[in-house]
């Protein structure tokens, strides 16, 4: 797929997401929040990277207070410069400032390495059935996740209209371990699914 074709796919999926009716969006978002909460509640508390939504992304940050009450540490992505980002601790009481994309980030909190995370929740404009995702095109998540170990689970929550057959990933693109839709959580491979539960949903 050419760069222009990927741009076309990105534009189409963003439009599909924006075109969801308020009732449909709200119901789907609640379902996805529930799935993510249950997914994490089934695990020993550790550190989970969330994100603050933009452009119609699923609001996963809404479950942060409940996760913290169970002992989870939450982090948010912070843009460092034109090419890189890191994750910083987010307690819910931190000062937040908008980055150059208009997305709020915590200020003055401790950086948390990729390897110190148990789970990283990754946003996407589109994701295909093999776990390859298409973001806004800046590549921040691809670069940040490129060196992660297999112990760190990456999960991508999306609306059903964002799941496509193939995003034709490029060499630098980093896939995710699991996709969450309103149908449930689907593991991409036996290697990443606990107990080998490939394709399982809950």
What residues form DSSP beta bridges with 76?
88
Q: Would you list the DSSP string of 67-116?
A: HHHTT-EEEEEEE-SSS-EEEEE--SSS-EEE-TTS-EEESSPPEE-GGG
- Domain boundaries of the chain, sorted by first residue: 3-187
Between CA 76 and CA 19 the distance in angstroms is 27
The predicted pLDDT at position 3 comes to: 54
Flag whether pLDDT at 111 surpasses 90: yes
Mean pLDDT of 141-164: 91
Flag whether pLDDT at 20 surpasses 90: no
Between CA 115 and CA 69 the distance in angstroms is 23
Whats the size of the chain, residue-wise?
A: 202
pTM, two decimal places: 0.88
Lowest-confidence segment of 13-22, 113-122, 124-133, 146-155 by average pLDDT: 13-22
Instruction: For residue 62, give the 3-state DSSP assignment.
Output: helix
User: Strand 96-98 and strand 133-134: pairing?
Assistant: unpaired
The predicted pLDDT at position 9 comes to: 86
Q: CA 128: distance to chain centroid?
A: 14
User: Strand 119-121 and strand 96-98: pairing?
Assistant: unpaired
CATH number for the 3-187 domain, one of 3.40.50.10420, 3.20.10.10, 3.30.450.20, 3.30.70.360? 3.40.50.10420
| Predicted confidence band of residue 187 (pLDDT cuts 50, 70, 90) | very high
| Predicted confidence band of residue 198 (pLDDT cuts 50, 70, 90) | very low
């Amino acid at each position: 797929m050419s760069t222009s074709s990927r741009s076309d796919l990105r534009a189409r999926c963003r439009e599909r997401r924006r075109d969801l009716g308020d009732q449909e969006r709200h119901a789907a978002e609640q379902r996805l929040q529930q799935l993510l909460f249950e997914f994490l509640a089934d695990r020993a508390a550790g550190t989970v990277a969330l994100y603050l939504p933009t452009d119609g992304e699923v609001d996963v940050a809404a479950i942060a207070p409940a996760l913290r009450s169970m002992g989870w540490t939450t982090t948010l992505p912070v843009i460092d410069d034109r090419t890189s980002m890191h994750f910083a601790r987010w307690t819910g009481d931190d000062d937040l400032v908008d980055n150059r994309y208009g997305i709020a980030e915590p200020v003055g909190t401790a950086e948390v390495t990729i390897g110190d995370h148990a789970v990283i929740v990754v946003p996407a404009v589109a994701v295909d059935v093999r776990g390859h995702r298409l973001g806004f095109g800046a590549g921040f998540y691809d670069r940040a996740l490129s060196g992660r170990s297999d112990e760190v689970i990456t999960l991508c929550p999306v609306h059903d209209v964002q799941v496509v057959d193939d995003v034709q990933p490029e060499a630098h693109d980093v896939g995710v371990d699991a996709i969450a839709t309103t149908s449930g959580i689907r593991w991409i491979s036996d290697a990443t699914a606990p107990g080998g539960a490939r394709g399982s949903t809950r």
